[in-house]
Amino acid sequence: MNPSLTYRVIKPYQSAYPDPLVFHCGEVLTTSARETDWPGWVWCTNTAGQSRWVPDVYLQLSENQAIMRRDYNPLELSVQIDEMLIAYEHVNGWAWCININNQQGWVPLECLLET
């Protein structure tokens, strides 16, 4: 995990996927697409039929299938301008952040300014 950094939100972001979902290390997923706006992300579906974008660095990829290399929570955090966040991990243009209310999730780095 990267060292923590403090950020101020400079652009609001609304989570597209507010429902909790966790992929577990060793879990086998079906893959169907790669994100073009956010390089390094793969659309993955678990055996329950739930789908989310997953960073390719967390996957062992083969044709139309992937195995999770680690646990991964794809929860996104909705943020407003001037919120202060602490980021604990950075992957493919996103940061895993926590706000002052202890809410956590991924936020696009383009919405953040390091303080």
Q: Which residue has the tokens 């390094």?
A: 40
Residue extents of the structural domains in the chain = 5-17+75-114, 28-68
| 3-state SS assignment for residue 57 | helix
Complete edge-to-edge strand list for the sheet that includes strand 104-108: 104-108, 94-98, 84-91, 5-9, 112-114
Average pLDDT of the residues in 63-87 = 96
CA distance 85 to 113: 10
**pLDDT value at 1 more than 50:** no
CA distance 4 to 28: 30
Average pLDDT of the residues in 15-32 = 92
Average pLDDT of the residues in 51-63 = 94
Decide which of 2 and 92 is more confident: 92
pTM over 0.75: yes
CATH tag for 5-17+75-114 (out of 1.10.3720.10, 2.40.37.20, 2.30.30.40, 3.30.56.10): 2.30.30.40
